[in-house]
Each structure stands twice: as structure tokens, then as C-alpha cells.
């Protein structure tokens, strides 16, 4: 493979700018990297030139290429968003004669509603771990806290002792873009947090560690390990294996709205920078109300 395909200093410079100015997570940076480098490689193989020479027709042809390999409209739009940010960066750096993405629009796609869980299903999942051992107790506490606060998986596994205020029933998390927020939790989560802490103290489980949720080896639990544990509990309860740890975040938001919480408050709790991101949960709530009426009303 040509060295032109292996190295791309313009993309690397763009990614560095994202890290410094936007404060994005490494997972988000990686997605931008993959999208921009894939486009640059396609452009070089098809046209023999680099992004600074791209024209609007090249972008349109690339979108057709993505469609031809059966990518969903949502996936294509995400890649297009990365490419647009890349070209906007090149334009600001005055490396383009004209910006080829200015007139390019995304593909229309119906936004899929995130999967959620009923309160009954959540309770089944919460009660699945065997709390007579450390791993089960840790898992129960993690599930309780995730449902009680709606935190992202990354925020949950990165939680440290110093981020928890048991007296005020609050946790402090660092969200996307380095934004810090305080989230309250209820008595059930508080009770399990205290039980988990006492178990670690009594059994001398890595008390010198700042990490709150740890493995049996005393190391911070990974996203993959927690996913594996959730899958095991789904099998025990008979719930759908399509459910992920992130589904608890969706359940948190949906159940709050179903019980009368206002959208702005839920937005703050979830750490969404844009209210439109939170509004998708109102569609879930409305859909469930509609289904309930159709199922139970005599003329539904």
C-alpha cells in the first residue's frame, strides 16, 4: 500500500485540533479518524489526489459508494458529518480554494428510537445478581446506580471514591467534552452503595485504590467486562439479549418523563448539550401511552 494511504498529516492535524479545542472523548476522536481516513483513502484510490483538491462531485460520489455497500442512512450521515467537520477545518486553515461540502445535505432517515425497559424488566435485571459474593454485589450496585442516575457506561466505570457524596446522595461525573455534572440518586442506590463500600472495607479489597468499581484483582472494571456481566443476567432473567448496559440510561430517562419530569431537568441529568437529543425520549413516552390506550381502551 502506498505511503500516501498510510499517512495523512492533514487528518492528524485535524484530530489534534479536536482534542485541544473540543475536548472530545477518545472514542469520538477515533470515529472521526476512521471516517476521514476512509474517505481520503477512497479519494486517493479513485481520483489519485488528496482532500485539498476534492470537489463537490467527489463528496456526492463517495456518499453513493457508501450507499452501494448497504450502509444505513444514519451511518452515512455520521460519516458525512465527520467529513464536513474535516473540510470546515481545512477551509479555516485556508487550505482549500472552495469548500466542497457547503451544499451537501445528509440523507433523510427516520431516527430509530433507543430501546428501553419497562419498570418490571428493570426490577428483574436489578435483582438478577447473586449478592452473596463480591462480583454479584458489585454488579447489583452498578446496575442500581446506573438506573438511579442515568449515567453513561464510561461515566459509571470511571467513578472514583472522591466522586461520591453519601451524605447528600450525589455523584460527580465527567461527561462528554469534559463537562462535569452532579447527579442525585435515591435511597435504594444509597443503600447498595453503602453495602458495597462496607464489603470492600471488611474484606480489605484494594482500599488504596481510587477506583470505585473494581474486579476481583482490584483493577478498575472495564466496559467489556460490565457488558459481559449484563449479558449473563439477561440470560438468567429471560430478557432480550439485545439489551445493553446503555439501555438502563434510556430507561432512566423514559421512566422520569413518564412520571411527569420536565424535559429540561432530564437534559441536565443526562448531560445532553442539546435539548433535541433529549427530546427523542418524549417520543418513547408518547409511543408507550399510545400503545397503552390501544391495548386497554374498549374502543382502542
Q: Catalytic site residues?
A: 152, 176, 246, 249, 272, 281
Other C-beta atoms closer than 10 Å to the C-beta of 142 total 25
Instruction: Give the integer Cα–Cα distance in Å for 106 and 63.
Output: 9
Instruction: Give the integer Cα–Cα distance in Å for 128 and 125.
Output: 5
Q: What residues are paired with 182 via a beta bridge?
A: 172
What are 43's three cell numbers?
A: 479519494
Q: Which residue is listed with cell 481516513?
A: 37
CA distances from 4 to 41, 66, 252 (A): 8, 22, 47
Q: What residues are paired with 181 via a beta bridge?
A: 173
Instruction: Give the integer Cα–Cα distance in Å for 136 and 128.
Output: 9
For residues 284 and 258, the answer to whether their CB atoms sit within 8 Å is no
Q: What angle do CA 121, 125, 131 make, to 5 degrees?
A: 150
Burial of 145 (0-12, 13-18, 19+ CB in 10 A): buried
Instruction: Give the integer Cα–Cα distance in Å for 300 and 289.
Output: 12
Beta carbons within 8 Å of 223's beta carbon, 6+ residues apart: 153, 154, 157
Amino acid at each position: 500500500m502506498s505511503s500516501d494511504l498510510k499517512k495523512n498529516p492533514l487528518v492528524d492535524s485535524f484530530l489534534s485540533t479536536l482534542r485541544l479545542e473540543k475536548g472530545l472523548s477518545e472514542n469520538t476522536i477515533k470515529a472521526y479518524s476512521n471516517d476521514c481516513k476512509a474517505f481520503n483513502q477512497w479519494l486517493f484510490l479513485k481520483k489519485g489526489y488528496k482532500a485539498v483538491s476534492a470537489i463537490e462531485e467527489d463528496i456526492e460520489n463517495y456518499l453513493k459508494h457508501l450507499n452501494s455497500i448497504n450502509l444505513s442512512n444514519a451511518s452515512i450521515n455520521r460519516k458525512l458529518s465527520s467529513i464536513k467537520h474535516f473540510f470546515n477545518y481545512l477551509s479555516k486553515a485556508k487550505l482549500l480554494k472552495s469548500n466542497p461540502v457547503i451544499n451537501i445535505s445528509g440523507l433523510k432517515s427516520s431516527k430509530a428510537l433507543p430501546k428501553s425497559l419497562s419498570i418490571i424488566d428493570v426490577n428483574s435485571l436489578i435483582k438478577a445478581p447473586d449478592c452473596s459474593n463480591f462480583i454479584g454485589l458489585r454488579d447489583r450496585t452498578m446496575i442500581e446506580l446506573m438506573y438511579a442516575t442515568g449515567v453513561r457506561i464510561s461515566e459509571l466505570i470511571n467513578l472514583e471514591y472522591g466522586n461520591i457524596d453519601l451524605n447528600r446522595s450525589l455523584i460527580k461525573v465527567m461527561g462528554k467534552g469534559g463537562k462535569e455534572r452532579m447527579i442525585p440518586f435515591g435511597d435504594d442506590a444509597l443503600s447498595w452503595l453503602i453495602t458495597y463500600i462496607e464489603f470492600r472495607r471488611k474484606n480489605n479489597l484494594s482500599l488504596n485504590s481510587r477506583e470505585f468499581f473494581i474486579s476481583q484483582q482490584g483493577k478498575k472494571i472495564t466496559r467489556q467486562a460490565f457488558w459481559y456481566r449484563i449479558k449473563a443476567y439477561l440470560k438468567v432473567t429471560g430478557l432480550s439479549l439485545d439489551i445493553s448496559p446503555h439501555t438502563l440510561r434510556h430507561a432512566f430517562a423514559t421512566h422520569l418523563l413518564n412520571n411527569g419530569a420536565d424535559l429540561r431537568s432530564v437534559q441536565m441529568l443526562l448531560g445532553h448539550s442539546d435539548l433535541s437529543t433529549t427530546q427523542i425520549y418524549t417520543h418513547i413516552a408518547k409511543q408507550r401511552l399510545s400503545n397503552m390506550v390501544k391495548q386497554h381502551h374498549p374502543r382502542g
